[in-house]
Amino acid sequence: MKVSIFSAPKILPLAAVGLAAMIVAGCERPPPDSEQRGYRGVGQNAYVNPRILAAQHRANVPPAVQPPAVPVPITAGTVYKNLQVLGDVPLTEFTRLMLALTEWVVPKDQWVAGQGCVYCHDLADMAADTKYQKVVSRSMIQMTQRTNAAWGAHVAPTGVTCYTCHRGNAIPKYVWTTNPGRAASGQGASGQNRLSAVPAFASLPYDPMTTFFDKDTSIVITPATALSPGWNDTINTKKTEWTYALMMYMSRSLGVGCNHCHNSRQFADWSQSQPTRTKGWYAVRQVREMNKAYIWPLNDLLPASRKGPLGDPMRIGCETCHQGINKPLFGEPMLKDYPVLGQPSPVVVPTPEAAPEPAAPAAVQTDAEALDAPGGKVTGEAAVQEGLM
């Protein structure tokens, strides 16, 4: 009997492979989209996967806006005691903001008898600063007002609210404390060789935030000219690794690549960079001020559960607000619905060292976009002198 090469034992596996191929072809994940961000031919393209982008949109839907308050001529300070920050706000708008703050910050499992007020307030005396949460909240409101009023070069008219960071959590999900490291073979004082997501699990320093966000440490590592005087004494491979670790953290925090801010053909040249690089320059200095002026002064008040292993407070970084997205909440302008959070605070929190106003980097024009920051052209030499990124 003649046996066909297409016998059943051979046809079935082939049929299974063909069916699998058809299924895979029909369920192929969408290819990434690209956006040209610089001059043609220089590779400044941003890539995004529509499937991932759609999931991010679903995860970043802001809460419904509280109904508008009926205008009244009475301020909250004439009714309630110990209003050190919001006393001049109309009474009804104050109540509306308190309702929003409760929804933004207090987890539902911490509400008592259906009320979230008790998370911060002592119901026996609402004006008392009995609970540390109330004192912290006051400072955070001041910080939010300061951010919106003074750091428009970073947050723009979109602004921020408490929800930008908290997202319904008492402690924002993406805060950081100083990483104590561990004594291990092969680990020296350079702070490397510990598996960490901060520098994308690379063999780079695992705690760049303490170095760059707690201190005014210069980030710049590229000299303006070859053999620039003095650079051998200040810039070396180790310094470069610290900067790269910070850049890895910033890239992951915003969900972008290097060319979101830089032109990879010349990272240091501001004239070839994106306007977003200047926003990043302001962002670093804003984060430093927020931590110095508003977070660190609260450290003695905070319980151990709000601190790191070295006793330092949980602090703010790029990821705290951005949470993996270029624009927090995809640029949802929540501030317009709560303008009280955009007013300059009448009370300034004492800071151990007053953070200076950032010197504006110069106007940078890339392609058809012009940066709105004041000042003249930023040169490589000026970048070195000012410690620019």
Q: 206 lies in a domain?
A: yes
Cα angle 196-34-279, degrees, rounded to a multiple of 5:
60
Q: Give the pLDDT score at 8.
A: 56
Q: How many domains does the structure of the chain reveal?
A: 1
Q: 274 lies in a domain?
A: yes
Tell me how crowded residue 189 is: count the other CB atoms within 10 A of its CB.
Answer: 7
Q: 138 lies in a domain?
A: yes
Alpha-carbon torsion 229, 233, 238, 242, what sign? negative
Q: Give the pLDDT score at 358.
A: 37
Q: 13 lies in a domain?
A: no
Residue 360: domain span: 132-181+189-389
**Do the Cβ atoms of 287 and 379 come closer than 8 Å?**
no
**Do the Cβ atoms of 99 and 66 come closer than 8 Å?**
yes
Q: 72 lies in a domain?
A: no
Q: Give the pLDDT score at 354.
A: 38
Question: How far is Cα 337 from Cα 161, in angstroms, rounded to an integer?
Answer: 10
Output the six-digit token pair for 152. 């428009």
**Residue-wise pLDDT tens for the chain (389 aa)?**
554 544 555 565 656 666 666 555 555 566 788 888 777 776 678 888 888 899 999 999 999 999 999 999 999 999 999 999 999 999 999 999 999 999 999 998 889 888 899 999 998 999 999 999 999 999 999 999 999 999 999 998 899 999 999 999 999 999 999 998 764 444 455 667 778 889 888 889 999 999 999 999 989 888 767 766 666 666 788 889 999 999 999 999 999 999 899 888 888 888 888 889 999 999 999 999 999 999 999 999 999 999 999 999 999 999 999 999 999 999 999 999 999 999 886 655 443 333 334 343 433 332 223 223 333 333 333 333 333 44
Q: Residue 373 carries which side chain, given as an amino acid letter?
A: A
Output the six-digit token pair for 272. 């070839």
Question: How far is Cα 82 from Cα 74, in angstroms, rounded to an integer?
Answer: 16
Cα torsion through 189, 245, 223, 374, rounded to 10? -130
The whole-model pTM stands at 0.79
Q: 64 lies in a domain?
A: no
Q: Which CATH number characterizes residue 168's domain?
A: 1.10.468.10
Q: 105 lies in a domain?
A: no
CA atoms within 13 A on the CB side of 136: 23
Q: 98 lies in a domain?
A: no
Output the six-digit token pair for 385. 């002198």
